[in-house]
Chains A and B, each alone.
Chain A
Amino acid sequence: MKGRDLGELAVRNLREAILRNSLTTLGVAVGVASLVAMLSLGVGLQTLASQRLTKSGLFDAVFVTSRRDFRGPGGEGPPRKSSAPPEKFKPLDDDARQQFAALPNVVDVYPQIRFLTDVRYEGNSFSTNVLGVPESSRATSAFDAITGKYFSSPTAEEAILQADFAKELSPQTATLVGKEITLRYAERRAVSSDEISKEPDIDKQLDEMMSGGISIVSREKKLRIAGIIESDPSAGIGGFGGGRVFLPIRVAEQLHAAQANDVQDFVRGGGSGKPTYAALTIRVKNPKNVLQIEDAIKKLGFNAFSLLDASKTLRQVFIVFDMFLGLFASLALTVASLGIVNTLLMAILERRREIGVLKALGATDGDVRSLFFAEAGAMGLFGGIFGVALGWLIGAALTWGTTIYLRQQDLPAVKISYVPWWLAASTIAFAVAVSLVAGLYPAGRAARLNPVEALRYE
């Protein structure tokens, strides 16, 4: 019998015992709904967690250092003394930075810029830390809870203040937005050995050699306060935690402010005057690009590491969590499948004579088996579709309830349940598969019926 005819006959048969078949289908739907609700919760929480983690900037970052700093597996043994020939190591300088930026899937490459400063506001002076914030942090959640605005452009001469520091400036922190502050900082100017040797005054030459070839000049910079942020926007390795005044990194770099590691930096540059970085952070498009970038960096001759392993563990935890939820929900579907077995066995009993007639008219055992299979599959399909809709509604209700609760607690709403298309499709397919398995025994039994005995049945 052709598939279309089989489908028509199956649906017709299901319609005839509409109440019983609807109840059985409803059983499947409830099973599927519990499966979808549970898994959508798992998927929703996983999506939520990974979104938060991705936004935190920890899992889409690769941290690069020069090989001379490390003695680990990727390093080159114990740290060398400064007398070691620097040519053996690739310097982490602007050339390297441009090389990294040119790699595919790289969003941003930035150094950590952190220096001490004096902030002047309305005639008062406050000592604090300044941090350069990479442009890519605009896309992260780090500055979500900002009063005011994020930097208007990557080169805007603006600052974002940490709330505690802002309170030192003014108790009414919100009024600070748009006001001007003045940074006083030490500008570093590297002097090359050539310049030192050209110095006519022998005393000055000696001084410059003694100071490592760095000049320090006091500078001032006026900045507009763009916003105030309550929490530390991001802590973590290579992040920009611990700062109290944040500047766009390009502005911070242009200041050439003397940093804590400048002397070491100078030594790294081999006294050539070419600045190098202690470390660079590479932000990639997607956490899945991290490994590829890490490999590329290592091939270029630098140390690279990331926190991807932590995110892998998180994914594993969620897979186990989802499996656990799925297993429990599958029990409901198993019970529903017993309903299908029961319904089909009843149908065979009722339609015994009909099966005999079909066989007398030339139906093969396979035709009869397929017909009962189709009926089981149809119940699975309808139950599956209905169940997915029901499960989605349950998930939506859970999200709704959670949102109300979170709002009462003054917390932002989150979507804890999420039904992606693959979950809907695979659950419907699973429901059909379970129903077909449930139909296996009844269909086999119907197919094996002796036509003579079946026709004699009253």
Chain B
Amino acid sequence: MKKLTPKQEKFCQLYVELGNASDAYRGSYDVKPDTKPETIHNKGYELSNKVELKGRIEEIRANLKKANKIDKQWIIDQHQEIIDWYKELKQLAKQEDISDKDKKRVYMLKDLIKGSDFRGSLDSITKMLGLNEPEKVKQDIKIEIIEKKRD
């Protein structure tokens, strides 16, 4: 990878931190007070799309995820936990006789989980795994051409 200038490196760091190319540009380059916002926007956009900077931005993001031990699987696991709590509550609710221990569990779980959390987690997992894409259905369409005779 081509070595970046100190300003480009700072731009990449700020871009990941702020999530905005214009702000990252302002923080890493000498921007004059009278510089037009469109100019800053264009410069930031150009920089964020340069191949070598894009690569560095991805690298910083990957390192951050690694440092925080956050990846797709971790996020799915968190959602799965919410779903499991909800399922456990539902299961408890269906029991005819709820033991004293289970009653305590229900009361404890009620602080952790709401029905909307369950639905939200299902939605998130569905989107993350791309399960909400429309199913492709192959259809054979027969077109019948009826010739109409002229009288």
- Chain A partners chain B: no
Chain B residues within 8 Å of A, Cβ to Cβ: none
A residues near B, CB below 8 A?
A: none
